[in-house]
Structure 1
Amino acid sequence: MSGMTVGFIMFAVLLALMVIRIPIGISMFIAGAGGYVYLTGSEVPLMASLKNLAYARLSNYDLVVIPLFLLMGQFATHGGLSRSLFRFVSAFIGHRKGGVAMA
């Protein structure tokens, strides 16, 4: 069976699993893991990649800026900076059509 046929079968299995109300993430994992095992002929490569996958995804230090950015937004909101900036922008370009929404 070609890779394209296996892909179509995996997509059909994915849709069937979602129709019987299995959560999307679990359905995607089942369909993907099944196709991977079928194409490689063994479950050993799948298990080898899964044992390091969770740590590899969560140890990405570039993503540490996201919670810090949200924290900065909370400080700006509770400190009144957001309201002041909105008033400034509204006074600066609020008279134009679309005003602050376009900015």
Structure 2
Amino acid sequence: MGKMRKALTAATLTTLMAGGLSLATAGPAQAAWQCSVPPGMTYNWKTWDAGCGVPNGMSYNVVAPSEGMWACLVPTGWNWTASRSSNLCSANAGFPTTEYRLTKAG
């Protein structure tokens, strides 16, 4: 999984730099593994990553929020309409956490 994550990260960074885009303008289909979740963004998968240091040691598949998507975090400016148990939002498969279906606040 580490090689796949590194390849995905490299491809995403290359695409972002080549296109002059920032992560804030990424669409819901675009994602990037990061050691933290920037304000206004969410994530849909979390895993252990020694490269993210101590004490956190977590890597998040950061995505831009979109209407109806299932996400592990409800960012500012968004609400949720449903929730479900998810192993993707927890690095410990035996201890699932909550995943939220997003809707734009307002």
TM bracket, shorter-chain basis: under 0.3
Answer 1 or 2: which has greater strand percent: 2
Answer 1 or 2: which has greater helix percent: 1
Larger Rg: 1
- Higher relative contact order structure (alpha carbons within 8 Å, sequence separation ≥ 6): 2
Normalization by structure 1: what TM-score? Answer: 0.27
